[in-house]
Amino acid sequence: MAIYDSHWILTLLILIPVFGGMACLVLPEARAKHVALVTTTVLFVLSLPLFWTFDQSEAGFQNVVSIPWIDAWGISYSVGIDGISILMVLLTTFIMPLAVAGSFSYITKRERAFYAMLLFLTTGMIGVFVALDLFLFYVFWEIMLIPMYFLIGVWGGERRIYSAVKFFLYTAAGSLLMLVAIVALAYLNHTATGTWSFAYDEFLALEIAGRTQLWLFTGFALAFAIKVPMFPFHTWLPDAHVEAPTAGSVVLAGVLLKMGIYGFLRFALPLLPQAATHPTVLSVMLMLGLIGILYGAWVAAVQPDAKKLVAYTSVAHLGFIVIGVFGLTTQGIEGGILQMVNHGVSTGALFLLIGMLYERRHTREIADFGGIAKVMPVFAFALVVVGLSSIGLPGTNGFVGEFLILVGTFQTHPWIAAIAATGVIFAACYMLPMVQRMLFNSLDRDENRQLLDLNRRERLILVPFLVLIVLMGVWPGPFLNRTRASVDALLVRMQTAGTVGAEVVRQRQEPPPVAFRSNAEGE
């Protein structure tokens, strides 16, 4: 279809949720959830063909458009996708209908506003992933913040106000620094070319002195590090997750946390290659990633609250992605991108599962459960599979991502990767005890004996997650292929403009020590 050759598909993806959200607001309360579900489903169906129409041999942007918006400042509506963002866009459209469906019985008050917020949030998220004008990007970035703030603050748990404010202030503090960096870039561009512009391409062409790059990188990196979240900027995450309603947690973990990494890949690295490849910067980022892996897992292991536990596992998972990205190798970055999708899928599913349990028992304390595999076998099955995916068991999607990240980073930073590999031990140390204390042991509480197993709607929600977990675990090829060209282009850019990037790519281009591959191909 023609729209898949033009920017219209992206523009539609941005616009449809806005209209859907408005419809939610004006239609009767009881209809809101259905409108939201239909809207997000349509969105997903609409976006799905992108996966195939996307030209995976093309490193640059596709479905591009640039329409002037605020001409005086050179701000334009520019959108497009490449190998780094395509999976993120699809992840967003994949998660949203499931998050909406997962809220059907969870949200009972102010439904109109709730679903409208979810839909506005969708617009923000898709916008962030497709924006090619930094001003536009910033606008979407901030748009995203507002619905999320309300989702936590209005439909959250007991300490929702504290969490919502913490979330908002943390993120806003970071993004203001980013705004400074963006404006500085525009100013530099103005000095260099004499015209005002916020376009990504223009900034790519900019030559920036090393020291300036470091300052700008700091601005971007703080914003993204808070969003990731990297240690020690992570403490908003557990609070936000614990208090947020299920759909909020799912979206937060599934998509919002990816923004930080996406920001690094899209902006911080290619725009400021010298800063990003500066040895000190690299080691700081890698160390923070490493600390995140270990620290997140450790703290997760001693959490009494299931949702908080999962929140801390996110810190660990995102730590893996950070070291993958800053390992600056093909495998590391591709693995990182893949792991972003994986994390969205598995952690999203985990939050949904915990939410389903919360709806039944109104508690998330792990100690309140025990032996519920007896009464909820389907739930138990799903939790085990998703949990195993989360700890990266081979055969599930989690392994492929982690493995690529570690293999990639090991080539440039063997010690970091080796220590990070011990994260798999600690992963087992948090997930298995939780699974055991919830599902296994004896069913000794009366409240738990009456628990009903998942109903049809809940099962249907989980099926896509489980399918994707296995599919991406055994056949990640289609996903990896789509990222390849863009990642390679990024690395080449880091090489030509960076300082240590050269080393990385030289290593890659040398023929491997052993010249042959698997026999099957030779024969």
Partner 1 sequence: MVSQVFQEGAATNFHPVLPFLILLFPLLGALINGCGAFLWRNDKMVPALIGPGALIAAFIVVLLNFLGMSSAELHGAEISHLWTWIESGDLRIGVDLQFDQLSMLMCLIITGVGSLIHIYSVAYMREDPGFSRYFAYLNLFVFFMLILVLGASLPLMFVGWEGVGLCSYLLIGFWYDNKDFANAGKKAFIVNRIGDAGFLIAMFMLYVAFGTLDFVPIVESAGGQLAYGGLLVTGITLLLFLGCTGKSAQIPLYTWLPDAMAGPTPVSALIHAATMVTAGVYLIARLSVLFALAPVSQGVVAAVGAGTALFAATIAIQQYDIKKVLAYSTISQLGYMFLAVGVGAYTAGVFHLMTHAFFKALLFLGAGAVIHTVHHAWDHGGGDAHHHGDPNDMRNHGGMKAFMPKTWIFMWVATLAIAGVAPFAGFFSKDEIIWNAGGFGYPILWGVALVTAVLTAIYMTRLMVMTFHGKNRTFGHDSTDGAKHIHEVPALMWVPLGVLAVLSFVGGWVNIPEGLSLPIHVDWFHHWLEPVFEPALLVAEEHGIHVAHASPVGGGEALWAGISTLLAVIAVVVTFRTLRARAVPTEAEATPPTGFARLLYDKWYVDELYDRMIVRPSLALWRGCWKIVDTAIIDGIVNGVGQGTKLLGWAGGQIQSGRVTTYLVMFMLGVLLVLGVLG
Q: How many residues contact partner 1, by CB under 8 A?
A: 72
**Taking contact as CB under 8 A, which single stretch among the options 49-57, 75-83, 187-195, 410-418 is the one that binds partner 1?**
410-418
Q: Which is nearer to partner 1, 202 or 334 (CB)?
A: 334
DSSP string across 355-404: HHHHHHHS--BGGG--STTTT-HHHHHHHHHHHHHHTT-BTBHHHHHHHH
> What is the rounded distance in angstroms from the CA atom of residue 303 to the CA atom of residue 154?
25
Cβ-contact 469, 389 below 8 angstroms? yes
Start-to-end CA span in the chain (Å): 41
Q: What is the DSSP string of 449-478?
A: HTPPPP-HHHHHHHHHHHHHHHHHHH--HH
Least distance between partner 1 and beta carbon 284 (Å): 17
Is there binding between residue 361 and partner 1 (CB under 8 A)? no
CA distance 150 to 145: 9
Out of 67, 205, 302, 367, the only residue in the binding site for partner 1 (CB under 8 A) is 302
Q: In whole angstroms, how far apart are CA 481 and each of 219, 294, 337?
A: 32, 30, 11
Q: Does 478 bind partner 1 (CB under 8 A)?
A: no
Q: Alpha-carbon distance 295 to 288, whole Å?
A: 10
- Residue number, 120 or 295, with CB nearest to partner 1: 295
Per CB under 8 A, the list member of 42, 46, 65, 432 interacting with partner 1 is: 432
Instruction: For residue 403, state whether it binds partner 1 (rule: CB under 8 A).
Output: yes
Q: Cα-flanking dihedrals φ and ψ of residue 62, to 5°?
A: -125, 165
Contact 423, 456 (CB under 8 A): no
Question: Does the footprint of partner 1 cover residue 459 (CB under 8 A)?
Answer: no
Residue located via tokens 């999976």: 87
Closest to partner 1 by CB, 118 or 405:
405
Q: Shortest approach of partner 1 to residue 479 CB, angstroms? A: 11
Q: For residue 334, state whether it binds partner 1 (rule: CB under 8 A).
A: yes
DSSP one-letter string for 127-152: HHHHB-BHHHHHHHHHHHHHHHHHHH
57 scored as a contact of partner 1 (CB under 8 A): no
- Are the C-beta atoms of residues 400 and 472 closer than 8 Å to each other? yes
Examine residue 427 and tell whether it contacts partner 1 (CB under 8 A): yes
Select the span of 22-30, 94-102, 206-214, 510-518 touching partner 1 (CB under 8 A): 510-518
Token pair 């504290």 is found at 162
CA angle 406, 410, 415 (to 5 degrees): 110
Q: Does 447 bind partner 1 (CB under 8 A)?
A: no
Give how far the C-alpha of residue 102 lies from the chain's centroid of Cα atoms, to the nearest Å.
19
Structure tokens at 277: 């490849």
Interactions with partner 1, residue window 152-181 (CB under 8 A): 166, 169-170
Please, what is the minimum distance in Å from the beta carbon of residue 418 to partner 1?
5
State yes or no: residue 450 binds partner 1 (CB under 8 A): no
* Pick 197 or 448: Cβ nearer partner 1: 448
Binding to partner 1 in span 200-239, by CB under 8 A: 232, 234-236
* Contact between 422 and partner 1 per CB under 8 A: yes
Instruction: Pick one of 23, 132, 164, 439: the residue that binds partner 1 (CB under 8 A).
Output: 439
Residue 126 beta carbon to partner 1: minimum distance, rounded to whole angstroms: 27
**How near is the Cβ of 441 to partner 1 at its closest, in Å?**
5
Contact 116, 40 (CB under 8 A): no
Among 70, 205, 418, 463, binds partner 1 (CB under 8 A): 418
Q: Which of 138, 379, 399, 465 binds partner 1 (CB under 8 A)?
A: 399
Contact pick of 163, 303, 314, 448 for partner 1 (by CB under 8 A): 303
User: Binding partner 1 by CB under 8 A: which of 152, 301, 325, 353?
Assistant: 301
Q: Contact between 381 and partner 1 (CB under 8 A)?
A: yes
Of the candidates 376, 386, 391, the residue with the CA atom closest to the CA atom of residue 438: 376
Tell me which of 441, 450, 455, 496 binds partner 1, using CB under 8 A. 441
For the bound state, the minimum distance from the C-beta of residue 331 to partner 1, rounded and expressed in Å, comes to: 5
Q: Does 421 bind partner 1 (CB under 8 A)?
A: yes
Nearest to 140 by CA among 152, 130, 149, 153: 130
User: From the list 41, 215, 484, 500, which residue makes contact with partner 1 (rule: CB under 8 A)?
Assistant: 484
